[in-house]
A = this chain, B = another copy of it.
Amino acid sequence: MEDVFQYIEGHSGMYLDWLIKACNQPSVSAQDRGMIEMKVLVKQFLEELGADVEEIETEGYPIIYGEMDAGKTKTLTFYNHYDVQPEDPLDEWVSRPFESTIRDGRLFARGSADNKGNLIARISAIHAYKEIYGGLPVNIKFIFEGEEEVGSPHLAFFANEHPDKLQTDGIIWEGGSRDAIDKRPHVGLGVKGICYVELTCQGAKYDLHSSEAAIIENPAWRLVWALNTIKNDQEKIMIDGFYDDIVPLSETDKNIIHTMNYNEDKIKEVYGIDGFLKEVTDYKLKERLTAEPTCTICGMESGYTRDGSKTVLPHLAKVKLDFRLVPGQSPDKIATLLRKHLDKHRFEDITIHETHGMVPFNTDPNHAFVDVVLNSVKEVYNEPPVILRNLAGSSPMSKMLEGTL
């Protein structure tokens, strides 16, 4: 592989130009900005690489599918996305979001990390390999969607309609990360699921003077009491059945968690905290982070929230809750259990708006492909990766892969 690495070094200007071209093209799916131009650009990259490219129509933005048949027995698939998050708040940008700028040896642009950097890196790697060896060691498939940043609403449709395109021996998901502190590369073997809901509670028709609170119900208090029944101060989620479907960790899972490194002192310093939740540490901390479900208040709001005092009885209270789910749990079931829970505790008046959900997804750690990936990472980075049984975050893997791998 040394030849390939040298080729990449020698042509880094060209590969960087590819990345700059991708980053400078706005492609904000949430706002329908630049999506057609970006799709054309992505197709062009794949065609120039020598892939057979198909544009799969969906009711949203198309999925760009590419195939490079090297006549081999094994196939490797890459999932990436060509859309990016909106760039606001604009004031916070030091350079313009869609004009790539290099500062201190790093490239800054919206999407440079998520996910155009990864997309171009993969295309570049395959390009360099072909230049050196004239062919590929495996067949390659590319699945590039344009709606990851808006919840991948048509990825399941694609998977159902095109099972043949999902036939593969392994999929590398959209991106990678390195330890924020000691820089070792991560290999994640799955993602938590998510059930994101907004609860609202309504009192009177409009805000009243707070003196009326003696006789008029306050939705902010009702929401506080309802939340208090959902999770107690020991961090236990009190919804009946919440933990029932969780698949217990295997010995292999636990061993993987044991090997994960986590620099507790450094994280405490960076985040400015004295300790971790429930004072967990070491194995238990890593298990919570990667393999336990959560219930998080992501936002709450009621009444007067600006500076100073205003004597108001709010008419509305809202909270955004995010449940991170682990294998066995599903967002639909959790939303149903939450509704039952609220009803049981006489909070029938609290409304649940489900905003999005993703099923957790896990790779079998004993799958042969896992070893291939781990060894490749070790070879490239000259050190063993940090293996995460699960990422603490979520991603739409299950929408495409459920029942596939």
Q: Interface residues, chain A, CB within 8 Å of chain B?
A: 192, 194, 196, 198, 203-206, 208-218, 220-222, 224-225, 227-228, 231-233, 271-273, 276-277, 280, 285, 288-289, 292, 294, 296-305, 308-314, 317-318, 320, 322, 324, 355-356, 391-394
CA distance A289 to B212 in the complex (A): 7
Contacts A204-B272, A211-B393 known; list 18 others, CB within 8 Å: A198-B309, A203-B273, A205-B273, A208-B271, A212-B289, A213-B294, A214-B289, A214-B294, A225-B233, A228-B228, A298-B303, A298-B309, A298-B311, A298-B314, A300-B300, A305-B318, A309-B320, A311-B394
CB distance from A6 to the nearest CB of B (A): 37
CA distance A256 to B271 in the complex (A): 58
- Of the A-B pairs whose beta carbons lie under 8 Å apart in the complex, a sample of 22, sorted by A's number, is A211-B289, A211-B393, A212-B289, A214-B292, A215-B280, A215-B288, A217-B273, A220-B300, A221-B231, A224-B227, A297-B303, A297-B314, A298-B313, A299-B310, A299-B312, A300-B301, A300-B305, A300-B317, A304-B320, A309-B320, A309-B322, A310-B320
CB distance from A30 to the nearest CB of B (A): 9
CA distance A298 to B301 in the complex (A): 11
CA distance A280 to B322 in the complex (A): 36
Q: Which of B304, B311, B324 contacts A214 (CB 8 A)?
A: B324
B-chain residues with CB within 8 Å of residue A285 when the two chains form the complex: 215
CB distance from A54 to the nearest CB of B (A): 32
Nearest residue in B to A198 (C-beta to C-beta)?
B309
Q: B208, A309: Cβ atoms under 8 Å?
A: no
CB distance from A214 to the nearest CB of B (A): 5
Q: A305, B299: Cβ atoms under 8 Å?
A: yes
How many copies make up the complex?
A: 2
CB distance from A318 to the nearest CB of B (A): 7
Q: Which of B222, B301, B308, B313 contacts A296 (CB 8 A)?
A: B313
**Binding site secondary structure of chain A:** mixed
Residue among A206, A231, A233, A309 facing the most chain B CB atoms (10 A cut-off): A309
B-chain residues with CB within 8 Å of residue A292 when the two chains form the complex: 214
B-chain residues with CB within 8 Å of residue A204 when the two chains form the complex: 271-273
Q: B217, A277: Cβ atoms under 8 Å?
A: yes
Q: B356, A309: Cβ atoms under 8 Å?
A: yes
Nearest residue in B to A311 (C-beta to C-beta)?
B322
CA distance A320 to B310 in the complex (A): 9
CA distance A375 to B288 in the complex (A): 72
Residue among A218, A280, A299 facing the most chain B CB atoms (10 A cut-off): A299
Q: A312, B298: Cβ atoms under 8 Å?
A: yes
Q: Which of B297, B305, B317 contacts A221 (CB 8 A)?
A: B297
Q: Which of B215, B222, B280, B392 contacts A211 (CB 8 A)?
A: B392
CA distance A272 to B303 in the complex (A): 18
B-chain residues with CB within 8 Å of residue A310 when the two chains form the complex: 298-299, 320
B-chain residues with CB within 8 Å of residue A232 when the two chains form the complex: 225
B-chain residues with CB within 8 Å of residue A294 when the two chains form the complex: 210, 213-214
B-chain residues with CB within 8 Å of residue A393 when the two chains form the complex: 209, 211, 311
Q: A302, B299: Cβ atoms under 8 Å?
A: yes
Q: A391, B211: Cβ atoms under 8 Å?
A: yes
CA distance A194 to B211 in the complex (A): 10
Q: A299, B288: Cβ atoms under 8 Å?
A: no
